Chain A
């Protein structure tokens, strides 16, 4: 079963540069949490501290109620999967997978049985005699997974495990990782710079920037309710417009763009009228109609259309105001605009967010 993990105010500096600045995380048993961020955001350093490879300067790590902050890595019993697989090149697959059992002095018969099981679990039954160099990248990563899981750790750490694989293989491995997580009920902390991996795999995502967690929450939280412009910009596409908060109707709010143009309706939030703010709208949230169609909406002109298959990406300029990007599905029942055409754009105020600038 999975182990719970608490991280309290973990910090690590290299000379004057702070790699991780006071990171706290509370991960429930069996949860899948991704640390998402650009390189240098501190996500890998955080993972290395959990694994025990990097000693923290400050803070505490608690695994299943036991403080492990100062335990050497070999006594933590945590499984680790590395980006470049880190298989032992001089050992065949079976000996690689059996290595953790050998270190735990498991009998030869038990080892053989558990290695066979572990290999079957990752879909590599019968390849025990191969050397790592004789396997494809995807197979090598499966061996690494089997090796990290063979001694049934409560916590599995994965450091960009799909980074070295090509695109189609990444999809297969993602499905595989999801299946293993469901089947084994293991807790997983997963480091990645790829937002799509994080969104599709995780129960919760911790978005990191400059050594701190900027926001932690479900994929929906981060996408629909980003706490600031950094999160909004990192996850998914968005149009962001700066301006001032104004009242809109009875209880609504809108943003009056600094660059001019009509007020843009948005979900009322913690900001007050007159505050400087950033208006955020995801491109798929807006809909387009003919300029003379009935109903609400703002008038705009189509500046550019890029066809990308399932959707087209349109750049619109609001009359007298800023530009917006929207995605329009390429379906016969969706309004198909032409460049230069005057149109009407509309969105539900609840789909637009006002962020503190």
Chain B
């Protein structure tokens, strides 16, 4: 049995590519390296296997790791829209940046993005019992981060040295979960139904392992991140739009 296979994805459509990945996992391969990936959508979608690692060189197409359950996907490049869409468990590590709707409807597992993300990161993330999805962003996020968020944790580290979130609609319609942002957040950027709280010592202890994992993945020093000041954004209520369409 081969422990590792390499697939040259140059010019390949995503269907045969995904078939090869699935065949390799079914054959017991634990490490799959994809070279020359460019725009192939749906990589590792619905894939199962807790001990499988997929390394991607290039820019994978949208919906990377959608419904994925278990594997670790490491992207040496940028991602397009919605990596980790409705992901069940496992890990996605992006060494570049990612597009809009990162972690869309994610229900479990962890996504680490070294760079920045586009609009609507963490939209509709949810949690149920032990399933608590986590999205960690190294630099900054664009508007509508955590829109309609129902659970899980989004953490933005501001490693670019600027303000991590300075666009509107932060946590707009949030009714579960939390968004933790390095530094202060100007009230004008808070969306409907979101409010600021301080990060408690217990919260800080809770996110410390996440920060260490992030630092390990990207080879950076965790200490300044562990000691930095953070703002925690939480829902005002579990039903922010109660009464919007009906009188209650």
Is B one of A's binding partners? Answer: no
Chain A interface residues (CB < 8 Å from chain B): none
